[in-house]
Amino acid sequence: MSNRLAIFDCDGTLVDSQHNIVAAMDGAFTGAGLTPPSRQETLSIVGLSLVPAIAALLPNDPEALHIHVAEGYKSHFQAMRARGELGEPLFDGIADLLDRLDADGWLLGVATGNSDRGLAHCLEVHGLMGRFVTLQTADRHPSKPHPSMIELAMAEAGAVPDTTVMIGDTSFDMAMAVAAGVRGLGVGWGYHAPERLFDAGAHSVAMDSPELARHIGLP
């Protein structure tokens, strides 16, 4: 029998990191002599790997500039971390939901556009590193919505599409779920509107963690 696997996106699903992301993006654009995108524009690309995200914000500029701005983003983010300025609180009910999933026999995973380093820092801060059996990041995969992250997560966890759910707050998460043949469960507390999640193939969208628990099928 295949294991049941619940894969979570990180930013906008497990933790609220929007202040950090917007601040780092503003600093990266300003440092490159560019006008920063609006807050909504920045949040609209959360979930993509970094260089594709910059390319989405600067579609008419060359790849060299995308890479330069991405390096600036990483530098600003690392500086904020070093100064102790990162605030990434867990969303309400997430810790309890993870406990309930674990008690019901689910295996847990993460699939994020974040880096290995960034994800490790986030999970360590919240004491969650030992909760997940598989961690997939942009360091080792094509950007969402390519299904690679989900496919490797299932392989590592001994799960199959019929026993796997992908939980995320962006259309990229839902499109990745569709591409991998798993059930995509959207959350309405993140960075993309429910309509975008449904348009990308979400099976359902939960507005709080108790509703998400019901959509997953927890008793």
Share of residues in the chain with pLDDT > 90 (%): 93
Nearest to 13 by CA among 144, 186, 202: 186
Domains of the chain (ranges plus CATH)? 3-16+88-216 (3.40.50.1000), 18-82 (1.10.150)
pLDDT value of residue 196: 97
Count of residues in the chain: 219
Half-sphere exposure of 207 (CA within 13 A, CB side): 2
Interval 25-66: pLDDT, tens: 999 999 999 999 999 999 999 999 999 999 999 999 999 999
pLDDT value of residue 14: 98
pLDDT value of residue 86: 80
Nearest to 89 by CA among 23, 20, 25: 20
Where do we find the tokens 């990229």? 172
Given pLDDT bands bounded at 50, 70 and 90, which one contains residue 1? Answer: confident
C-alpha span between 102 and 110 (Å, rounded): 14
Q: pLDDT averaged over the chain?
A: 96
Average pLDDT score over residue span 112-124: 93
